[in-house]
Structure 1
Amino acid sequence: MNALKQNKNLFFLILVASLGYFVDIYDLLLFLIIKNKSLTSLGVSPDKLTDTGFNLMNWQMAGLLIGGILWGILGDKKGRLSVLFGSILMYSIANIANGFVTSIPMYAFFRFIAGVGLAGELGAGITLVSESMSKEKRGYGTMLVAGIGLMGAVAAYLVGDFFEWRTAFFVGGGLGIILLLLRIGVFESGLFENMAKKDVSKGNFLMLFTRKRFFKYLNCILIAVPLWFVVGILVGAAPDFGKALHAKDVLDNGKGVMFTYIGISLGDFLAGALSQIFKNRKKIVFVFLTLTFLSIMFFLFNTGWTATNFYVLCVFFGIFTGYWVVFVTISAEQFGTNLRATVTTSVPNMVRGSLILVSMLFQWLRGNLGIINAAVCVAIITVGLAYIALYNLDETFGRDLNFVEE
């Protein structure tokens, strides 16, 4: 009977974490999908859409960076559940507020607040699931959370396409409030409750700045930066790339994001399952990272794209960057229980926030080299750093997570 109850609780935990990430991705990608529509409605001229869009995206990413640290520290000090409840409430309110904006500064402010709120979702869910499952099976749990959650991008596209952009934000806020009610039945991590009784430093972000921990933390971030280069730059600025590559049709960035995230969802299931079958995280990330680089080069060195061909490629972009779930699992397994939420919550958001630097580098190179050569250079840099980071990380499959950082 106890085993049955435990399995029921675990199922509910995975379901709620998956739905939470679904709403997280819905809001995170909604802006990329409706940005041109919303900015045009607010009076931004066509020649300023791209620059204004990048600026607002950077405000959102800055919120993710700050929120990732704040929620992570809170998760290790007060518990994983406090982050789940607090983050969903914040980004739900910010989503609703986004539906009422009347100026670009207001838009930027609420995208920043939404970013702070969104930062807590994935890390808290992955930490809870990782600490609640056996070391041999937890990869399947995190695979389900990421694979199901990433379909929120499809929902974002459909809602953003069929409804007025303000309504799309209201839908996101409403989904978050509904999810908040579901989370009442979620239980706290047993590993956290045991650790909370110990006399150890909890959620001390400065502990990450010892030489060994810092490079481990940095390496966790770098292995996933290419994913956001693909989503935020190649797909996010698809119309601009289409013009440079003499595309036969207009390449819709909104549809591109949707198809990319369908692929990422499939890729998460594939990469997660393969990491369990082969009992190895690093080799799977290496294979998927290599395929990501090859697909980027294939896109940038071919011309005459049709919209259909581009959307098919976006699915493959997604599948190959679907090592996201393995990357998050690796991050959770690298550090002790008293720093695990801090790391697992902040690392994905550092990756998302890295898009600020990546987009700045891309924009600078674009002015000097042109859009295609700039993208090639940024791809080589980000993927090269990811290879080096992956090499330096420990293999963590099957690691016992019941330990603390002294």
Structure 2
Amino acid sequence: MHFTLDAVSTTALALLLLAFGAGLKRRLNWLEHFCVPTPVIGGFGFALLAWLLRDLGLVTFELDTAMQSPLMIAFFTTVGLGGSLALLKKGGKALGIYLVACWLLALMQNGVGIGMASLLGLDPLIGLMAGATSLEGGFGAAAAFGPEAEALGAQGATTAAIASATFGMIVGGVIGAPIARWIIDRRRIPVVAEDVHDLEKLQAEERPTQAPIDGRILLRVLAVVVPIMVLGVWFKAALSTHLGIILPSYVGAMFVAILLRNLNDRFHWVSMPDNALATLGDVALGVFLTMAMMNLKIWQLQEMGGSLLLILLVQTLAIVFLAVVVLFRLLGRNYDAAVLTAGFIGHGMGATPNAVANMGAVCEHYRVVSHKAFIIVPLCGAVLIDIVAIPAITWCLNAFA
């Protein structure tokens, strides 16, 4: 049997799977413990089912994911609108060190991924998908850049990217807190958090704006987000036409959004409540990621599974080395540095929720909260990383195509 779903039917199925994933996550504690994203539960579960039915020769599916790209661009537009560049100069030395380490990690992961793929006889773009694209970039960047790599001839790039992001999400959530506890116990570090008066002041200054989400607020936010999406598509087309640079549409939209956000901070043209932007972004991200994983062709991994796993194991060793040997020392070799190390491994392998979960586990174990870590990591992990990471991925995509 063969089922063909049009764009509306595919979107409806994605919404149902997203709701199913949310319900399952509430009932299974281990899904919450490992910070497994809700779209992965429903979407990846459907992909596994489709793979099983295909291998048994029973059912095949053909999905029309036409809505996936607009939803993806909408999400990254809201991310860009949440990025204030003023944070770079207000965050202090610790924020600067941590952010530079994140940028170096992105470059290192790309180098390791491409180098290992070349040694193993794989397409270098497959290695790029197992680098910063899926690890530091998470599921969002994996689902966005995977199709771009496939369009350049890297067969199975999207599946490799999503599989790598899943690996990173699980491993980053498992090893981060234990490594931080090992550092603290082995070095007998005093369990004392530093004074964070300046960072707490920063947090107060940058506190997200809140407003009741009603039709008027939603209309205002959409009237900002959708035109930026269009400008991002135009920006991508202009770069491709005049400079020959391949740039995903969502990257163009995110950069335009960052620019307009910071101009708006200065000139106060329009009020955009952060909670409304976050809500719109969460919905767009959930549906687009669910669609991306529903449409995975997992059987393509059979040809590269062992090699891909080897690349990811090397990536894991590399980030642990960078976190323990380099970052921990640069941050002062104290309790806050150890907690920041757990966060670094969490979002360097998976996503910011991983980082927060890792840091929470360490602080709960020692019953001392590192306010510095809980301020710095979300600031860097949300948007500031992408200032270097996404251009680096884009450059590699063009250079190794």
TM-score clears 0.5: no
Q: TM-score, normalised by structure 1?
A: 0.35
